[in-house]
Amino acid sequence: MADLIVSLAERSYPIYIESGLLSDNSQLTEHIAGKRVCIVTNDVVAPLYLASLKQQLSAYTVDQLILPDGEAQKNLTNFEVIMAHLLANGHGRDSTLIALGGGVIGDITGFAAACYQRGIDFIQIPTTLLSQVDSSVGGKTAVNHPLGKNMIGAFYQPKAVLIDIDSLSTLPIREFNAGMAEVIKYGILGDKPFFDWLETNKQAIKAKESKILAEMIQRCCQAKADIVSEDEKEAGVRALLNLGHTFGHAIEAEQGYGVWLHGEAVATGMVQASQLAEHLGYLSAAETNQIIELISYFDLPIKAPDDMSFADFIKHMARDKKNLGGKLRLIIPTAIGKSEIFDNITEQQLQQVI
């Protein structure tokens, strides 16, 4: 029984959130239509979970592709590596790709699935907190380009998402904290009770208490599923999920992908968006400080890199894929638990916070 459903008519799919899913094939095999499977993972996750996953797939013909770890690997070169592997191993339209890893693996594998023979099935098995609460849900797939993050990709939904909470036990603390940026985002952008819940339970979250983590992940996935079901291709409300991302993507692109983790950049971006909201008169200083305190509790950065100038930010923000008609679109919190899309922010106003 699925914990959640992303409702998209014929493209609807389940999200399972449990302990031990990587050792139980009952949910996994239900969503594999053919007999061929290719697992795409990286050299950090493979030694931990690949053998266990392959054991669950003994009834299938399985091969695997192990990519190097890191955000810098989410590029067209490795997209081509996946394409070549699928062709060389004779995969057809009835093959299923399985993305075993964090957001990088999920994004590039999903994009490969969207493109290979004009679209084959794929399943997300996210192993990082950030991918479990955000990138594995919603069908955004992409690779990065030196001129912009996630600028080459497709909206392409998985057949299922399997979240094994036990995988967080092997996650480095820096990666866990980076995932918390996306968790906190849901509270700021549209769920004040969840933000309050995070403040109340922050010690238990930091201690990785399994029941608390399960509830936290489920609440995030439900929030994202609701938004994606309403606006699959980001024509409206889904853009709110990019709170902090326009600033954050600029940091990632300018510093070099992987220097700052995605969640670290988003954390700073949310602080900048909150400071801009305060400057515009929407947030009080107390609310901004409340946001900064929760972000800081998880040892996330709250200031942009010292070597980034205003011009460095603007050149990347001007290329952001959310922009329409040449206008910069920013997501700004108007209260803790409420955010809006603004397309009338001037460079002079941005200079107040960058």
C-alpha 210 chain-centroid distance:
21
Instruction: Report the pLDDT averaged over residues 195-212.
Output: 96
CA dihedral 108, 111, 112, 115 (to 10 degrees): -160
319 is catalytic: no
224 is catalytic: yes
Are both 4-170 and 173-350 of the same fold?
A: no
Percent of the chain with pLDDT over 70: 98
For the chain, the maximum distance between any two Cα atoms, rounded to a whole number of angstroms, is 61
Query: What are the pLDDT digits (tens) for 242-259?
Result: 999 999 999 999 999 889
Contact 212, 204 (CB under 8 A): yes
Backbone angles phi, psi at 122, to 5 degrees: -145, 155
Q: Return d(Cα 100, Cα 36) in angstroms, integer.
A: 16
209 is catalytic: no
30 is catalytic: no
Q: Dump strand ranges (E) for 115-160.
A: 121-126, 140-145, 148-155
- Other beta carbons within 10 angstroms of residue 333's beta carbon come to 27
**Coil, helix or strand at residue 168:** helix
71 is catalytic: no
Candidates 31, 149, 159, 249; catalytic one: 249
For 99: left if phi > 0, alpha if psi spans -120 to 50, otherwise beta; the answer is beta
Query: What are the pLDDT digits (tens) for 282-341?
Result: 999 999 999 999 999 999 999 999 999 999 999 999 887 666 666 788 999 999 999 999
234 is catalytic: yes
Fold classification of 173-350 is Dehydroquinate synthase-like, alpha domain (1.20.1090)
From 262, 242, 243, 244, select the one nearest 253 (Cα to Cα): 262
* Domain extent listing, the chain: 4-170, 173-350
18 is catalytic: no
First-last CA distance in the chain: 47
91 is catalytic: no
Candidates 31, 74, 91, 140; catalytic one: 140
**pLDDT attached to residue 325:** 64
Residue type, 331: I
pTM of the predicted structure, to 2 decimals: 0.92
Query: What are the pLDDT digits (tens) for 1-37?
Result: 568 999 999 999 999 999 999 988 888 999 999 999 9
Contact 110, 124 (CB under 8 A): yes
245 is catalytic: yes
In this model, does residue 235 exceed pLDDT 90? no
**Coil, helix or strand at residue 318:** coil
Instruction: Report the pLDDT averaged over residues 147-171.
Output: 94
C-alpha 146 chain-centroid distance:
19
Candidates 74, 159, 219, 224; catalytic one: 224
Candidates 118, 211, 303, 344; catalytic one: 118
Candidates 31, 36, 238, 329; catalytic one: 238
Question: Spelled out in words, what is the top-level CATH class assigned to the domain 4-170?
Answer: alpha beta
For 119: left if phi > 0, alpha if psi spans -120 to 50, otherwise beta; the answer is left
149 is catalytic: no
